[in-house]
Structure 1
Amino acid sequence: MKLASQDTVTSLDADFGAMAIKRGRYAWGLPELTMREKAFVFVAADLCCHNLQFPLQTHVTMALSNGVRLDDIREAIRHLAPFVGYPTAAETLMRLIEIEKAVGQNLDEPAADHGPGRTVELPEQALQNGKALDEGFAAFLREQFEERWGRANLTVAERALCTIATDVLNGTLDQSFHLHVALALENGAGEEKIRAVLRLVSEFGLAKAWRAFAALSDVLAPRS
């Protein structure tokens, strides 16, 4: 598999380049995830780590070369805003315009039809947990959830998988992680897809992924 920018990475340091290319081929080749899912997870990881220059351009270019639409990447950024920070999402959208020009994406090409959006409500238990902490926070949580999880372009499962990546890299392995794993499972993303997300983002934080696998075992235990 030819990776985007692999020659540039190799030119930085031959030994590091070989390691990075091996890791990139592993991540992009994970059979449990579609190319779309992998693209959204990579973008989520870039936003969490504020890798908005060369890494983001490399991952977006790789996604585009494998049929993922720029409009869908943009929608993923909108979805991720509350989990990575609105300022980071805004900065990423600015970078996406630059990347768009650099790769020569056809701006007039019509967006792919992934069907209309639908209503997805915040699970009652999550809402009650939020209210127990702070009523105002619970209201904000509900608004943010219902504003984005049912939008078109990305499925609920795709949104859950890339949001799980933010939980791993942000270290939010409590209620947030539990909620997003449940949403993934309930919307057709099986356990192996979730495990594949953790394997993919391990290159962004090995110790963080290690802790996430332990947390995932606790989440899945009552379901087995």
Structure 2
Amino acid sequence: MMDVIFEQMAGATARHVDAIAELTEREKTFLRVVADVCQSALGSGFERHLRAGHDHGVSTSDVRALLRFISYDSGYHAAAAGLERLVEFEHRHGIVPDEVEPLDEGLLVVGESPLPAAAREELKKLDGHFLEHFDLQSRMRSGHGPGTLTERERGFASLSVDVHYQTLGETFRTHIGRALRGGASREDVRAALRFNAQFGVTRAWRAWEAFNDCLAELPAQ
């Protein structure tokens, strides 16, 4: 045990957020892994999160799909570090991940993408090369789809990246919209934000302010 009082504090915090009823155990696992990757916390805590997820039926292939999905929001370097630790976990436990088909070579170059026209216009105003970067990322993600991730899960994962990196403007609103399109209620999105409080209350505080501003702009339900 590292420190008796710290362990008490961490345990009480985990029990409080784990009791959030609107999220599935699978979603909680994904949110923990996103936090680990974005905050470069890939030690014993990451191992515990993988084991807990595995106990609840979340395979390492599911986690691989998650890491591929968040890679261009978290940064490839951060996702790659998570993937390295995941591979080590698989080796230690004799887990063989599901085989996947490589992307078609045509998707690995800049071209027409599924990125919404409004988003492309905004990106074009910023920088042409940056728009191409987004187009490429969107093409690559469209090539293999979300894997085992639902749109609701993708929304929760993406908005959580925003919370960790404090990118609480356009992308945060977009990702809230993704979760809502995926069938999440506003209360479900609140639950995802509540769960993220354990990973840093100051970041969560700012996210709550941005979230409430976003809701005020949406049509009433």
TM-score normalised by length of structure 1: 0.85
Task: Choose 189-198 or 179-188, whichever is displaced more.
Answer: 189-198
Distance 2:78 2:12 in 1: 29
> Which consecutive segments of 4 or more residues in structure 1 shift more than 4 A?
none
Which residues in structure 2 correspond to 1:120-199 (within 5 Å)? 121-148=114-141, 150-199=145-194
Please say if residues 154 and 178 of structure 2, whose CA atoms lie closer than 8 Å, have aligned partners that are also in contact.
no
Could you give the per-residue CA deviations for residues 138-197 of structure 1, whole angstroms, max 9, x where no partner exists? 221133134326332111221110111110010100111011111111121221221112
Q: Which amino acid aligns with 2:161?
A: T
Secondary structure, counterpart of 2:96 in structure 1: coil
After TM superposition, the score normalised by the length of structure 2 is 0.86
2:17 alignment partner in structure 1: 27
Question: Which digits, 9 at most, give the CA deviation of each residue in 1:88-132, with x for residues without a partner?
Answer: 211211111111233x25427x68xxxxxxxx9323222211111
Tell me the secondary structure at the aligned position of residue 194 of structure 1: helix
**Secondary structure of 2:29's partner?**
helix
**Is the Cα–Cα contact under 8 Å of residues 155 and 175 in structure 2 kept in the other structure?**
yes
Alpha-carbon distance in 1 for matches of 2:48, 2:19? 16
Selected match of 1:12 from 2, 5, 17 = 2
Identity %: 35
Superposed CA RMSD: 1.8
Partner Cα separation in structure 2 for residue 13 and residue 205 of structure 1: 20
TM superposition shift of 1:26: 2.4
What is the aligned counterpart of 2:206 among 170, 190, 211? 211
Gaps of 5+ in 1: 1-10, 112-119
Unaligned runs of 5+ in 2: 100-112
